[in-house]
Amino acid sequence: MFALADANNFYVSCERIFQPKLEGKPVVVLSNNDGCAIARSNEAKALGIPMGAPWFQLKDLAKKHGIVALSSNYTLYGDMSNRVVQVLRMYSPKVEVYSIDESFLELEGLMGLWGSYGALGHALKDQVRMWTGIPVGVGIGPTKTLAKLANHLAKKRSEFNGVCDLSALTREERRGYYASLDVSDVWGVGRRTVEKLRALGIETVDHLRSTPPPYLRQQFGVVMERTGNELRGISCIEFEDVAPPKKQIVSSRAFGRMVTDFNELQEAVSTYAWRATEKLRKDRAVCSGVHVFVETNRFREQDRQYNNGMNVTLSEPTDDVRRITGAALYGLRRIFLDGYLYKKAGVMLLDLGPTGIRQACLFRSADQHSSKLMDALSEINGRFGRETVWLGSSGTQKPWATIFEHKTPRYTTRWDELPTADY
């Protein structure tokens, strides 16, 4: 048996903990550049604001209804997420952190402690709320896909009060719920698959569940066959309490304004290469390839469009920010074309491997100083703040930088941004 604990409107909930006056009000959290609404309070959802709606299109509605918009504060959300996971780990030895606001728990053998899975679910939900302030919903089922579906029910149907254990329902009750749920509510069924399923007359979860898996395989492929089996209670998607090593690392941002100047683009790519390398080193990995890409603004049809990217292979795996940045900037010079309005650029690190295993290059001797230098950089930035030292090629003014106009303090991770209470 699996449980899925999923925070309600996670980013909004994080903000509300430190600004209780936002409780009961329509609140949205915006993506980078304050571009789109990526988290919405229930009140905002009730006003019909869809996920990913561009903020500039919502401004009239916002004024009319007093919607509060906040910039993304990922430092805060990341820290709150860790706190929630800490509580979850008290309830099961096996926790899979699936995303910033969702974790699976394996419940095998734990039922005896609580009398029922539902009791465990309620205890966990109350504890997370009490200790972190974050409201979560809990879904329980014999497969991860069913736990997801149960979580959906826990949140949408008030009779469950935030915790839905499918195994506690009768066969008829389950059937009733499945018949009332749309196929699009199933984990792994996206927009394209929904269209195709509808065309085949498969509209509800009950329909999908009764479709023979071999037919799903033939029509959609092995992924949908698995989903079909999971809905029937046959567990096919593995529980991963130890996260497998990453295969690639990306750092990219849309610019705060259009960029035409090659030097500014170079600063941005250099900055992204730095960030990507930070992540790489945090994972104790090295990369053998770097991909760099640039894009114009696809929404501006009046502009000439240009999207291009390039893979640069490194002569040997590395985590040296100078080599990685050098490769990214080499690629940028190759793909840059003058005369376009660039909106976004990014750097991807490819062919990741563990630091220890490193095929040396035949044609050059190993750089003895590289790892010492990189460790020194990490040490300095770790002790004195993230951007104490950086590469000169990243620039200092960064006129292209991403915009955050409604940013809240990093309440839980910075001494100088701690919340204060009036009394």
Does position 54 interact with DNA (CB under 7 A)? The reply is: yes
Tokens encoding 335: 């793909």
Tokens encoding 115: 């009398």
Does position 101 interact with DNA (CB under 7 A)? The reply is: yes
Q: Among 334, 263, 333, 251, which Cα is nearest to 287's? A: 251
Does position 247 interact with DNA (CB under 7 A)? The reply is: yes
User: Would you call 228 helix, strand, or coil by DSSP?
Assistant: helix
Query: Strand runs (DSSP E) across 66-172, as ranges?
Result: 68-70, 95-99, 102-106, 136-141, 163-165
* The one segment of 29-37, 104-112, 315-323, 325-333 that binds DNA by CB under 7 A: 29-37
3 state SS for 109-123 = CCHHHHCCHHHHHHH
* Interface size with DNA, residues (CB under 7 A): 48
* The one segment of 86-94, 168-176, 292-300, 317-325 that binds DNA by CB under 7 A: 292-300
Write out the binding residues for DNA, residues 194-223 only, by CB under 7 A.
Answer: 194, 221-223
Query: Strand runs (DSSP E) across 234-284, as ranges?
Result: 249-259
Residue number with CB closer to DNA (284 or 372): 284
* Contact pattern for DNA over residues 165 through 194, marking x by CB under 7 A: ---------------------xxxxxxxxx
What's the Cα-to-Cα distance from 138 to each of 164, 249, 385, rounded to whole Å? 6, 31, 38
Does position 254 interact with DNA (CB under 7 A)? The reply is: yes
Report CA dihedral (70, 75, 79, 80) to the nearest 10 degrees: 10
Our CA angle for 75, 81, 85, nearest 5°, is 150
Contact (CB, 8 A) for 325 and 347: no
Write out the binding residues for DNA, residues 122-151 only, by CB under 7 A.
Answer: 148
Q: What residues have CB less than 8 Å from 388, skipping those under 6 apart?
A: 380, 381
Residue number with CB closer to DNA (46 or 243): 243
Residue number with CB closer to DNA (99 or 260): 99
Does position 38 interact with DNA (CB under 7 A)? The reply is: yes
Give the number of other Cβ atoms within 10 Å of residue 161's Cβ.
Answer: 12
Residue number with CB closer to DNA (110 or 361): 361
Residue number with CB closer to DNA (20 or 48): 48
Residue number with CB closer to DNA (57 or 116): 57
Does position 244 interact with DNA (CB under 7 A)? The reply is: yes
* Contact pattern for DNA over residues 362 through 401, marking x by CB under 7 A: ----------------------------------------
CB of 66 to DNA, least distance (A): 19
Phi, psi of 243 (to 5 degrees): -65, 130
Residue number with CB closer to DNA (51 or 376): 51
Residue number with CB closer to DNA (342 or 411): 342
Does position 52 interact with DNA (CB under 7 A)? The reply is: yes
Q: Give the span between the Cα atoms of 255 and 233, in whole angstroms.
A: 46
Which one among 246, 304, 334, 372 touches DNA, defined by CB under 7 A? 246
CB of 250 to DNA, least distance (A): 3
* The one segment of 32-40, 114-122, 262-270, 376-384 that binds DNA by CB under 7 A: 32-40
* The one segment of 86-94, 117-125, 168-176, 245-253 that binds DNA by CB under 7 A: 245-253
CB of 307 to DNA, least distance (A): 10
Report CA dihedral (68, 69, 74, 77) to the nearest 10 degrees: 30
Does position 343 interact with DNA (CB under 7 A)? The reply is: yes
Contact (CB, 8 A) for 319 and 305: no
Does position 36 interact with DNA (CB under 7 A)? The reply is: yes
Residue number with CB closer to DNA (135 or 188): 188
What's the Cα-to-Cα distance from 409 to each of 17, 30, 80, rounded to whole Å? 12, 15, 13
Contact (CB, 8 A) for 1 and 391: no
Residue number with CB closer to DNA (168 or 250): 250
Residue number with CB closer to DNA (166 or 268): 268
Contact (CB, 8 A) for 289 and 351: yes
Q: Give the span between the Cα atoms of 259 and 264, in whole angstroms.
A: 7
Which one among 119, 168, 258, 374 touches DNA, defined by CB under 7 A? 258
Q: Give the span between the Cα atoms of 5 and 122, in whole angstroms.
A: 11
> What does the binding site for DNA look like in residue numbers (CB under 7 A)?
31-33, 35-36, 38, 52, 54, 56, 98-102, 148, 186-194, 221-223, 244, 246-254, 258, 275, 279, 297, 299-300, 311, 343-344, 346, 402
